[in-house]
Amino acid sequence: MKIHLKIWRQPNSEMPGKLVNYTLDGIIPEVSFLEMLDILNEDLLKKGDEPVAFDNDCREGICGMCSLYINGRPHGPEQGVTVCQLHMRSFKDEDTIYVEPWRAKSFPVLKDLIVDRAAFDRIIQAGGYISVNTGSAPDANAIPIPREVAKEAFEAADCIGCGACVAACKNASAMLFVATKISHLALLPQGQVERQSRVEKMVAQMDKEGFGACTNTGACSYECPKSIPLNHIARLNREYLSAKLTSNSL
């Protein structure tokens, strides 16, 4: 198949970028989107041109590195997949495909399609930890956890921190990302010690990083490659309100 690409090229954060046109012919529908970019870069190197910079690591849908806007949607036209899980059979012969980095002020472009998502790391560092007693490891299943609670905690833990929720939101809100981290630890007994301080610190850091407010449009959950539901944002709001009321009463 023959495809036409319009790819965002930007030398660094300080210089402006632009869309550059490329054409590839003979692309096999079974190759992944990232493999298609590999083919493009091989062609560019043969011509002596600079390859397109893009993030990738595991290529198994679990690292969250392949954060790309494809035809105006985070991770492309398919729902519940990352870019590395997207295949060229999702496009048609002679299609024009727009490829851009995340559009969010808190995710500045480093080069071409690579953005700096260190803001997520700083949010986790602000409060994403638990206190544990030292000593020998407890026996397996020593702390009984109801099945539904464990299921919801695992659902929150599915978040890979790719940033699609931020990119999809018209306000560039990070509420779904923060909610998954808060929800995961708030549901489990191991996360109870710092439960209140954690949510206050992580929300404060989220605001400090410049992410927008949540207006409940649901785009974050819809475009999330792990399909994490909005009920975790509701839990984040409850946890935050409870923490603020408690701290204000001291």
Q: pLDDT tens digit string along 93-113?
A: 999 999 999 989 999 999 999
**What is the second-level CATH architecture of the domain 3-111?**
Roll (3.10)
- Provide CATH 3.10.20.30 ranges for the chain: 3-111
Top pLDDT among 139 and 11 is at 11
Q: How confident is the model at residue 10 (pLDDT cuts 50, 70, 90)?
A: very high
CB atoms within 10 A of CB 157: 17
Question: How far apart are alpha carbons 172 and 167 in whole angstroms?
Answer: 6
Strand partners for 6: 21, 98
128-176 pLDDT, tens per residue? 778 877 778 777 777 888 999 999 999 999 999 999 999 999 999 999 9
CB of 181 closer than 8 Å to CB of 159: yes
In the chain, ranges of CATH 1.10.1060.10 domains? 118-249
Topology at the third CATH level for domain 118-249 = Fumarate Reductase Iron-sulfur Protein; Chain B, domain 2 (1.10.1060)
248 pLDDT band, cuts 50/70/90, is low
User: Considering the entire predicted model, what is its pTM?
Assistant: 0.91
Helix intervals (H) in the chain: 33-46, 118-127, 147-157, 164-168, 175-187, 195-208, 219-223, 231-249
